[in-house]
Amino acid sequence: NAGVTQTPKFQVLKTGQSMTLQCAQDMNHEYMSWYRQDPGMGLRLIHYSVGAGITDQGEVPNGYNVSRSTTEDFPLRLLSAAPSQTSVYFCASTSYNEQFFGPGTRLTVL
Amino acid sequence: SQKIEQNSEALNIQEGKTATLTCNYTNYSPAYLQWYRQDPGRGPVFLLLIRENEKEKRKERLKVTFDTTLKQSLFHITASQPADSATYLCALSYNTDKLIFGTGTRLQVFP
């Protein structure tokens, strides 16, 4: 099993650009989530999904959209990037309360 | 809202000693508490989960305690090794799969 995979590993955007961070898992987990990690702030929940077709907002959802058309994939979209969205983004899937994290995407918005 | 406090200062200990990390929370006790390890440039990795009705949980050299009166969890690594150097995150959950994470404590084990 590949576990949780994320692409790209690094990305630089200009303010106002849009992009999609990809996340996929091959463990057939229903629950998936997106976090951002900033220095001194810890991991903060952006959006989560309890299964295909169902998504909900977390603690910091503004500026981000998600969709869940399949169990495997949970992409995160930035509609109009802002410098405040410079961060490291982690995707995770959950089974029996244990979260499995991807390797992260380091995003810089200029 | 719930607040989780982990010591933001790095913990430096000598190889072979026991490392003890602290996680304090406010408000009501969570259904369960988890500890994760995170290495630089990588995603967190699950270590241990302890439920509110459990006092202690062990896994190899790791031990977690959960005191709902003190609103505190302690994470111990016995016989610490340089390979244990990492940041350790505490996370709480309230009967859902949603986790609230602390900011983590960096542990440095030197030979």
A53 pLDDT above the threshold of 80? yes
What whole-number distance in Å separates Cα of residue B55 and Cα of residue B64? 8
What is the tens place of the pLDDT at every residue in A58-109? 999 999 999 999 999 999 999 999 999 999 999 999 998 899 999 999 999 9
What is the tens place of the pLDDT at every residue in B10-32? 999 999 999 999 999 988 888 89
DSSP A15: T
Place of tokens 């459990």: B54
Q: Which residues of B touch A99 (CB under 8 A)?
A: 34, 36, 44, 46, 91, 99
What whole-number distance in Å separates Cα of residue B58 and Cα of residue B67? 15
Predicted local distance difference test score (pLDDT) of residue B96: 75
What whole-number distance in Å separates Cα of residue B73 and Cα of residue B90? 9
Place of tokens 């309360």: A97
Query: Among A1-5, A7-11, B55-59, B102-106, which stretch is predicted with the lowest mean pLDDT?
Result: A1-5
Predicted local distance difference test score (pLDDT) of residue A83: 97
Name the residue of chain A whose CA is nearest to B6's CA: A42
Of the pLDDT bands very low, low, confident and very high (cuts 50, 70, 90), residue B83 is very high
Q: Which residues of A touch B46 (CB under 8 A)?
A: 98-100
What whole-number distance in Å separates Cα of residue A72 and Cα of residue B72? 36
What whole-number distance in Å separates Cα of residue B38 and Cα of residue B21? 14
A43 pLDDT above the threshold of 80? yes
B25: number of Cβ within 10 Å: 22
- Is B8 at the interface with chain A, CB within 8 A? yes
Residues above pLDDT 70, as percent of chain A: 100
